[in-house]
């Protein structure tokens, strides 16, 4: 099971490759992997295609990639066996690939973000970003006081102290 340290490793590994990247293509190979997305496969693809990704953020075992220019984000939960892997754009699809997001990274050029999940307990969704109730950063990896609606019920990591500059 991907415990919190593993999800943090995924977040920190994705950050240099996807921060500032533009989504150039999206393929959903298994619709069960977007079951927490409020729309259809088409709306999932449409909301991501052409979007610019901000730095990945994590709270608990949820990971999200905020999309520039709005209050939307790509949320991922790895479930028990999910993985978010970086691949070369011409790499063959992983056997258990569920979602493939092609990006153009400012640092690394074209890449693919592969959501691979053996048991399909994990998922991805495009979700609304909401303000945090306390004005504190929404998660580890960003100072923005925003959190996806699907993640708002998860408490902040206990070892990350609140900042002294947040609004009361």
User: Is pLDDT at 12 greater than 50 in this prediction?
Assistant: yes
- Helix residue spans in the chain (DSSP H): 4-18, 41-48
pLDDT digits over 48-95, tens only? Answer: 999 999 999 999 999 999 999 889 999 999 998 999 999 999 999 999
Q: Give the pLDDT mean for 120-125.
A: 96
Q: What domains sit in the chain, N to C, each tagged with a CATH number?
A: 4-148 (3.20.190.10)
Q: What pLDDT does residue 168 have?
A: 39
Alpha carbon distances (Å) from 150 to 38, 105, 164: 11, 27, 26
What's the maximum distance between 2 C-alpha atoms anywhere in the chain? 50
pLDDT digits over 89-120, tens only? Answer: 999 999 999 999 999 999 999 999 999 999 99
């Amino acid at each position: 099971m991907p415990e919190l340290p593993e999800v943090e490793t995924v977040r920190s590994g994705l950050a240099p490759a996807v921060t500032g990247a533009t989504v150039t293509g999206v393929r959903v190979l298994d619709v069960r992997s977007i079951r927490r997305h409020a729309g259809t496969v088409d709306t999932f693809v449409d909301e991501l295609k052409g979007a610019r990704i901000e730095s990945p953020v994590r709270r608990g075992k949820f990971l999200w990639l905020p999309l520039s220019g709005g209050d939307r984000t790509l949320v991922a939960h790895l479930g028990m066996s999910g993985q978010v892997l970086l691949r070369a754009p011409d790499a063959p699809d992983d056997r258990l690939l569920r979602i493939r997001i092609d990006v153009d990274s400012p640092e690394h050029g074209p890449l693919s973000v592969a959501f691979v999940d053996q048991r399909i307990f994990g998922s991805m969704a495009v979700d609304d970003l909401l303000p945090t109730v306390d004005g504190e950063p929404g998660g580890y990896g960003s100072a923005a006081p925003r959190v996806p609606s699907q993640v708002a019920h998860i408490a902040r990591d206990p070892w990350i102290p609140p900042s002294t500059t947040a609004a009361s």
